[in-house]
Amino acid sequence: MKCNNGTSWTPFEIEQFKSLANSLPLREVAALLNRSFSSVRAMSYRLQLGKRSVKSWSAFDEGELRGYAGLYSAEEIACKLGRSVYSIKGKAKQLGIQLYQVGERHHCAIHSDEDVTLCRQLYDAGVTPKVIAEKMEISHGTVNNFIFRHRLTANDQAWRKFK
């Protein structure tokens, strides 16, 4: 079968397309097969794959999404639940679940949650932020952010879920 740009679909590509089209959005299939979206959509029509059924969300799936939120990225949650990233993000928005990660799980995190907790414990024990910064070899401003809760840890995020 010919594509708009003149390249033929090989039998291997067609079989690969059939297996991917049942589990992924057509745009992702197009990217994986290095084909245009219109070519993939046309092939879907030619093979009479028609509308794909949408997997409905069960209460269990929603609970899993709530449990994974903040612990894993949207991509990781999608793999665990067997859904697309778009489905995960859309359902999270619908349920009011925030998928951002905090603490050492955040992709820009430099210091571990243990460092943050240690700074807070030292401050509670009466050590000044300047001394903590020198001992931990962390800037004074960063230590202040840790102490005065401007930097959340994963435990802080878990506590906020039940607030």
Q: What is the 3-state secondary structure (H, E, C) of 140-152?
A: HHHHHHHHCCCCC
Given a cut of 80, whether residue 22 has pLDDT beyond it is no
Q: At what angle do helices 59-68 and 74-81 cross, to 10 degrees?
A: 150
Given a cut of 50, whether residue 98 has pLDDT beyond it is yes
CATH of domain 104-161: 1.10.10
Mean pLDDT of 101-129: 81
Q: What's residue 148's pLDDT?
A: 79
* Least confidently predicted of 17-21, 76-80, 98-102, 120-124: 98-102
Given a cut of 50, whether residue 95 has pLDDT beyond it is yes
Mean pLDDT of 67-82: 87
Q: What's residue 2's pLDDT?
A: 46
What sign results for the dihedral spanned by CA atoms 58, 63, 69, 71?
Answer: negative
Report percent pLDDT > 70 for the chain: 80
Mean pLDDT of 131-142: 87
Q: What's residue 163's pLDDT?
A: 46
Which sequence spans correspond to the domains of the chain?
A: 1-53, 59-95, 104-161
Mean pLDDT of 52-66: 84
Break the chain down into helix, strand, coil percent, rounded to 5.
60, 0, 40
Write out the two tokens for 76.
Answer: 């990781």
pLDDT band with cut points at 50, 70 and 90 for residue 4: very low
Mean pLDDT of 103-120: 77
Provide the residue count of the chain: 163
Mean pLDDT of the chain: 81
Range picked from 8-12, 105-109, 150-154 for highest mean pLDDT: 8-12
Given a cut of 90, whether residue 91 has pLDDT beyond it is yes
